[in-house]
């Protein structure tokens, strides 16, 4: 069985809200601070 990384995992590792991670992954980074965007991208 594979260990899958979820939005919740990325959110915990980057210390931000899961909905923000979802917005970044789906190409909707509206009104998101640059540091939050960078943390998600670095975690992924």
Beta-carbon contacts of 40 under 8 Å, excluding residues fewer than 6 positions away, are 10, 14, 16, 20, 21, 24, 25
Helix (H, G, I), strand (E, B) or coil at 19: helix
Say how far apart CA 21 and CA 7 lie, in whole Å.
6
Query: What pLDDT score does 30 carry?
Result: 84
pLDDT for the residue numbered 1: 67
CA 2/CA 15 separation, integer angstroms = 24
Please write the tens of the pLDDT for every residue from 1-44: 688 989 999 999 999 999 999 999 999 888 889 999 999 999 98
For the entire predicted model, the pTM comes to 0.80
Q: Map residue 3 onto helix, strand or coil.
A: coil
Q: pLDDT value at position 44?
A: 87
């Amino acid at each position: 069985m594979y260990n899958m990384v979820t939005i919740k995992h990325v959110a915990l590792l980057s210390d931000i809200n899961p909905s923000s991670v979802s917005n970044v992954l789906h190409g909707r980074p509206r009104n998101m601070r640059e540091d939050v965007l960078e943390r998600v991208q670095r975690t992924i």
